[in-house]
Amino acid sequence: MASVTKSAEILAEKPKELAALRAEITESRRKASELASEYYRRIERKNPQLNAFLSLTRERALAQAARIDALTARGDPLPLLAGIPFAIKDVLVMRGAASTAGSKILQGYRPPYDATVVTRLESAGAILLGKTNCDEFAMGSSNENSAYGPVRNPWDTERVPGGSSGGSAAAVAANLAVAALGTDTGGSIRQPASFCGVVGVMPTYGRVSRYGLIAFASSLDRIGPFAGNVRDAATVLSVIAGHDPCDATSLRAPVEDYAAASDQPAEGLRIGVPGEYFAEGLDDEVRAAVERGIAALRAAGCTVKPVHLPHTRYAVPTYYLIATAEASANLARFDGVRYGYRSPRSETLSAMYSHSRDEGFGAEVKRRILLGTYALSAGYYEAYYRKAQQVRRILADEFLRAFAQVDAIVTPTSPVPAFKLGEKTDDPLSMYLADIYTVTASLAGICGVSVPCGTTRAGLPVGMQVLATHLGESTAFRVARAVEAAGI
């Protein structure tokens, strides 16, 4: 009962919509500096219970708020996100701000540059309050792998918020930020959004620049927003999306007005429902909530039809081969030489490498490095990594065939609602299998949105995943907005 009471207090203050807050600032009914200070007071009050923020960037945030107030005082036009408080996942670098990626091995690291998404948010007037907690190097599905302690779910503080972007999701759910950025490699935005009852967006691979992202798996990593509603998430994506010369994988396709697209009715859209996502292992209450969401889409004028994605059952092993292989290469740079943690037991160069990495990395990160190194090693590359890439191509082709028949695909975001802290930590395989509905879209490079579609009898949020083809974000937002409008 204490956990439920505490959670009710944390969730008591509901965030205003982004447009409403911006209007208050634009019309001089509230100063950006006052709004920022209000959110810092809220963080000071609630964060000790949640552990959502690892560090605060108060000086930088208040300086930005003062600039917005000066523009308002002069009567100058304000940018799109003027004065809006944001949180930033700690795998995204901010100049001079602690950037740990949730790992001991990066303690003390203060990068000399900003991630592209950070620059774009601030150029649009956003106030960046601080850095949020996450699974170490974004490796995890529960936010229990952080070197700085787990994040707690605002809906029930005895439960996980999802991972790896649990701090960002919890911050938005508890109104410690109006919106936040997270990263999604195999579900790390969508699953926490589902567990915390907020909207989370995984854009098409390459839609948002990865420059300034501390890499986990470079062919899978994506940056996307969390928000309290679909339109706000769409607005943020329009700001951070677009080509970046600092990221050769970023797409040159023009950026749409996603907020305006989300305003368009979903009537007439063809919605696919894959039977493979409603099979054994799906919680009954999650199934019922998602089916209510599908019924709401029918009521909104959508045509619902079955589609088939038969290779879905191979997605988890495929993902965990490719992701760990890329992680083993990306994390080789953390050696105790140039920055971050260096073991005091460094009698020789070899000992410094060995001890620094052993002491600096947590158990889950070491597990994935070992798995990835094995998959890439001589004699096993063909059998594991190359085979996984071939299956990845098959999965992507299946989605392309499905999208030739439908405009969007809807599924549960997670097979279960938020689980108890510690419930799966001793069973990594069980934790990995919780990603079954999200890793497929990650492997295929398509976009996805998790939107709340109800709660369980225990009052835990359930998310519906809306998938659309490459650069199909506008369609995904239209469908997600229809579910949101149904108020289920």
* CATH number for position 122: 3.90.1300.10
Q: How confident is the model at residue 16 (pLDDT cuts 50, 70, 90)?
A: confident
Q: How far apart are CA 102 and CA 132, in angstroms?
A: 9
Q: How confident is the model at residue 488 (pLDDT cuts 50, 70, 90)?
A: confident
pLDDT band, residue 6 (cuts 50/70/90): low
Is residue 375 situated within a structural domain?
no
Catalytic residue from among 7, 141, 142, 164: 164
Q: Given 7, 103, 168, 188, which residue is catalytic?
A: 188
In a domain, 19, yes or no: yes
Nearest to 468 by CA among 111, 280, 195, 207: 207
Cα within 13 Å of Cα(113), Cβ side: 8
Domain extent, residue 91, equals 2-270+450-457
183: in domain: yes
Task: Give residue 338's pLDDT.
Answer: 84
Q: Say yes or no to pLDDT of 379 above 90.
A: no
Is 3 an annotated catalytic residue?
no
Q: Is residue 34 scored above 90 in pLDDT?
A: yes
Count the domains in the chain: 1
- Could you tell me the pLDDT band of residue 5, with boundaries at 50, 70 and 90? low
Among 46, 89, 131, 424, the active-site one is 89
What integer is the mean pLDDT of 101-105? 98
- Residue 38 falls inside a structural domain: yes
Q: Is the pTM of this model over 0.75?
A: yes
Q: Could you tell me the pLDDT band of residue 431, with boundaries at 50, 70 and 90? A: confident
Residue 382 covered by a domain:
no
In a domain, 208, yes or no: yes
* pLDDT, tens digit, 9 for 90 and up, residues 147-165: 999 999 999 999 999 999 9
Give pLDDT tens digits for 196-237. Answer: 999 999 999 999 999 999 999 999 999 999 999 999 999 999
Residue 378 has pLDDT above 80, yes or no: yes
Please indicate whether residue 89 is annotated as part of the active site. yes
Structural domain contains residue 79? yes
Note if 46 is an active site residue.
Answer: no
| Cβ atoms of 117 and 208 closer than 8 Å | yes
For residue 295, tell me if it sits in a domain: no
Mean pLDDT (whole number) for 460-488: 97
